């Protein structure tokens, strides 16, 4: 994720046509450009309180689910002066994380907030700092190189951009005033000099005053000419492909000035070798309590610089020589921190941690994404697998597995059509596996045809991102059982409420067969793997129906909210069965408390194949018991977590340089796990004993309880645990992440 802050995507523009689509638009942009260069005389400086949420997460390429894996909430005070000086002073900090990591605030050398949209150049997370100096309140960053983007209203805009639109999109009524908002579409020109950082997106203006109300889009940096050869191909496969997006929203203050209200910065990155999933780095900031200080006459006179005499900056100089605006110059963008004691005492949070990230999606910027990411344009062939597991994984059935994949996105040739394929070889099993698919996307609909041979896990009540073991078997960890499955079928799905709710229907053919274990133990340690459990072989017509409501909310991850899912699976043929599963999940943050809970229930009927039975035990909902100790044709589980932050040591830990750790932030935690399995007929018991001769049901509800202390936003902890339905000793265990 650190790389997402260092790379901007390669810019690829369409052929240039005209700079402005109308004479009226040209006049409007020219007038706005002149006004934008001069900070209004009445605006000397302002101060504001900021609350930012900085999150890391990822979006699964095939399912479209988006999860949050860490959240940092940062309070700061910002001061901006009409001369361009900025000071962002961090006053509060807290975090939550699924696992050990560095604090992302260590990535920033400068203020991350964009204090104004005046001037010829914009510095987005790349502002230059002053030389280091001490303050009694904390630490200031060292000086860094400044990287500038060309403002769409810059004097040299016509060398960089094309403009379209200019129509009124909204009318705001404030008191007895009506403010018309016009939208201008800004597109970079073709063949810009290497090193030019340009904006592509929407520019909204106050039609009367010509002030910038909103900017939304992406920033691109043009690279040099492409290289060719084997080395270039290897780099294209392994390099990070990144997109940088912003939404900068202003609001009118005192009926005079348009100043920041809400800002979103987002870096999305994918590496072809890792599959189609995107890593996401996101900053959401809200400005509150803006206080204006009027400019004195001498400040306006001293700071004013006639634009005719200002140094010119040609496009390929944008990273070296900032274009000086009338009242703005290259000034420090300071980022400083309050003392650790002050950071630890901060309690004036306006929003619960995680709520800001829960309302947005990486798909919000799909229309301004890099051209190679969009659904329009010429066809694109990519040497890219759908998942990282398609490239390399290790498990006790296949041993080491290596593969490759490719995709063709037809785009304008056949809009919405994507063809994918992957093939790989299991070296210990000496078996070839792979799949092919063709999809047609017509939002909100998606249709697909798929077929292939796969090794599928038979674990129950897994979350939507669970899959076969990737590398855990190398270290002796493979808590899955597997079925070797051939399948082919068609699928239709429909999204509701953006991409948050889903209805999916699948119909096809499948054939299940036993998977033979080929690894006895991992490479590290010699603890033997448990044997792979048997399956009932046979072919069947497979029908599946799924409904997911708020599908991005999963209690195991950090996005707060409530979600629900219902799944129906039917087999007709040699294997005849029906299986229904339901899930409800919720997560809440309330001041110092975090609550999370998940309930699953399911039933399977018919001539039940062993691979469709429910299993429960260690690592599967009942950690106080043995591996898959219980079996049944009906099952239910409930899990919950309550965590209370003690309010101690809440300041992030600065180790050295850019290396910061999240706050130690100890929290008391209590979690429980309850499970039940049952069987109602002799046929149920026959199927269960085919799976395991000593199969047993839970004979009532089995429960485990653990209590302990966690650190670093819940990422690490130590707890004592024991079953509570019978006498047993307490056991000490380490806890990683917020699993419960």
Q: Looking at residue 12, what is its pLDDT?
A: 37
Q: What is the pLDDT of residue 100?
A: 83
Query: 86-97 and 333-337 as β-strands: parallel, antiparallel, unpaired?
Result: parallel
Structural domains in the chain (count): 1
215 in a structural domain? yes
- Any domain includes 145: yes
The answer as to whether 437 is a domain residue is no
Query: How wide is the angle at C-alpha 711 spanned by C-alphas 703 and 589, nearest 5°?
Result: 70
Task: Provide DSSP, 232-279.
Answer: HHHHHHHS-EEEEEEEEEEEEETTTEEEEEEEEEEEEEE-GGGBS-EE
C-alpha dihedral (622, 627, 633, 636), degrees to nearest 10: 10
Is the CB of residue 664 less than 8 Å from the CB of residue 615? Answer: no
Q: Compute how many other C-beta atoms are within 10 angstroms of the C-beta atom of residue 580.
A: 15
pLDDT of residue 149: 83
User: For the chain, which ranges sit under pLDDT 70?
Assistant: 1-17, 123-147, 224-240, 297-332, 463-469, 525, 619-620, 739-740
The predicted model scores a pTM of 0.85
- Which domain, by its residues, includes 281? 2-371
Report yes or no on 173 lying in a domain: yes
Structure tokens at 84: 């361009």
| pLDDT the model gives residue 301 | 55
Task: Please state, rounded to an integer, the average pLDDT across all residues of the chain.
Answer: 83
Give domain status of residue 654, yes or no: no
CB 323 within 8 A of CB 310: yes
**Model confidence pLDDT, tens digit, residues 108-146:** 878 889 888 887 877 666 443 333 333 333 444 434 444
pLDDT score of 197: 87
* Domain assignment of residue 361, yes or no: yes
Q: Which residue's entry shows tokens 């901006």?
A: 80
CA-CA distances (angstroms) from residue 250 to 108, 135, 184, 286, 420?
A: 23, 31, 16, 10, 43
- Residue 311's pLDDT is what? 35
pLDDT of residue 470: 73
In a domain, 738, yes or no: no
- Domain-located, residue 686: no
Q: Could you report how far apart the first and last alpha carbons of the chain are, in Å?
A: 26
Contacts of 118 (CB under 8 A, 6+ apart): 36, 37, 38, 39, 325, 327, 328
* Distance between CA atoms of residues 737 and 463, nearest Å: 15
Bridge partners, residue 506, by sequence: 491, 544
CB 291 within 8 A of CB 46: yes
What was the pLDDT predicted at 467? Answer: 56
Residue 477 tokens, joined: 């960890």
């Amino acid at each position: 994720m650190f790389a997402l802050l260092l790379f901007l995507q390669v810019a690829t523009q369409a052929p240039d046509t005209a700079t402005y689509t109308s004479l009226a638009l040209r006049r409007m942009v020219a007038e706005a450009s002149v006004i934008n260069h001069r900070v209004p005389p009445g605006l000397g400086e302002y101060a504001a309180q900021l609350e930012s949420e900085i999150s890391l997460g990822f979006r699964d390429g095939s399912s479209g689910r988006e999860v949050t894996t860490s959240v940092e909430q940062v309070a700061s005070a910002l001061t901006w002066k009409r001369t361009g000086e900025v000071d962002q002073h961090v006053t509060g900090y807290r975090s939550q994380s699924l696992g050990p990591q560095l604090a992302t605030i260590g990535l920033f050398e400068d203020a991350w907030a964009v204090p104004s949209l005046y001037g010829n150049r914009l510095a987005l997370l790349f502002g230059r700092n002053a030389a280091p100096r001490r303050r009694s309140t904390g630490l200031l960053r060292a000086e860094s190189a400044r990287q500038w983007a060309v403002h769409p209203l810059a004097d040299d805009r016509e060398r960089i951009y094309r403009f379209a639109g200019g129509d009124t999109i909204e009318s705001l009524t404030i008191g007895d005033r009506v403010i018309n908002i016009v939208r201008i579409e800004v597109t970079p020109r073709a063949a810009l000099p290497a090193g030019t950082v340009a904006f592509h997106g929407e520019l909204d203006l106050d039609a009367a005053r010509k002030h910038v109300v909103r900017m939304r889009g992406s920033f691109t940096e043009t690279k040099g000419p492409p290289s060719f050869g084997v080395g270039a191909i290897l780099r294209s496969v392994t390099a990070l492909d990144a997109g940088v997006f912003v939404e900068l929203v202003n609001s009118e203050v005192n009926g005079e000035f348009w100043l920041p209200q809400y800002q979103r910065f987002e870096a999305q990155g994918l590496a072809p070798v890792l599959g189609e999933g995107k890593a996401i780095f996101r900053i959401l900031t809200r400005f509150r309590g803006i206080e204006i200080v009027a400019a004195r006459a001498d400040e306006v006179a001293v700071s004013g610089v006639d634009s005719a005499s200002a140094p010119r900056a040609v496009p390929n100089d944008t990273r070296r020589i900032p274009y000086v605006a009338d009242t703005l110059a290259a000034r420090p963008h300071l980022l400083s921190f309050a003392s650790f004691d002050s950071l630890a005492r901060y309690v004036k949070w306006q929003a619960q941690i995680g709520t800001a990230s829960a309302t947005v999606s990486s798909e919000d910027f799909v229309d301004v994404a890099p051209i190679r990411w969009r659904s329009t344009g010429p066809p694109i062939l990519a040497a890219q697998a759908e998942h990282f597991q398609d490239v390399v994984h290790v498990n006790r059935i296949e041993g080491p597995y290596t593969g490759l994949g490719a995709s063709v996105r037809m785009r304008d040739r056949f809009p919405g059509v994507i063809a994918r394929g992957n093939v790989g070889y299991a070296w210990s099993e000496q078996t070839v596996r792979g799949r092919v698919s063709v999809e047609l996307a017509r939002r909100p609909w998606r249709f697909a045809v798929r077929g292939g041979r796969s090794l599928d896990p038979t674990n129950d009540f897994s979350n939507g991102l669970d899959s076969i073991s990737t590398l855990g078997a190398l270290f002796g960890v493979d808590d899955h059982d597997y079925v070797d499955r051939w399948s082919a079928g068609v699928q239709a799905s429909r999204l509701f409420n953006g991409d948050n709710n889903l209805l999916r229907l699948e119909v096809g053919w499948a054939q299940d067969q036993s998977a033979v274990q080929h690894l006895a133990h991992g490479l590290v340690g010699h603890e033997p793997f448990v044997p792979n459990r048997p399956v009932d072989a046979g072919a069947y017509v497979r029908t599946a129906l799924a409904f997911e409501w708020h599908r991005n909310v999963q209690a195991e991850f950090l996005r707060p909210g409530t979600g629900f899912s219902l799944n129906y699976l039917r087999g007709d043929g040699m294997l005849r069965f029906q299986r229904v599963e339901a899930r409800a999940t919720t997560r809440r943050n309330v001041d110092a408390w975090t609550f999370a809970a998940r309930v699953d229930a399911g039933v399977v009927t018919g001539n039940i194949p062993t691979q469709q039975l429910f299993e429960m035990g260690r690592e599967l909902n009942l950690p106080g018991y043995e591996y898959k100790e219980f079996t049944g044709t009906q099952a239910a589980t409930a899990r919950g977590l309550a965590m209370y932050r003690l309010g101690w040591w809440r300041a992030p830990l600065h180790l050295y340089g850019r290396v910061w750790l999240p706050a130690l932030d100890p929290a008391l935690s209590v979690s429980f796990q309850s499970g039940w399995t049952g069987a109602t007929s002799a046929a149920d018991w026959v199927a269960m004993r085919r799976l395991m001769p000593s199969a047993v049901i839970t004979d009532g509800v089995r429960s485990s309880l653990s209590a302990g202390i966690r650190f670093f936003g819940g990422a690490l902890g130590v707890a004592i645990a024991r079953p509570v339905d019978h006498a047993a000793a307490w056991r000490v265990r380490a806890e990683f992440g917020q699993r419960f």
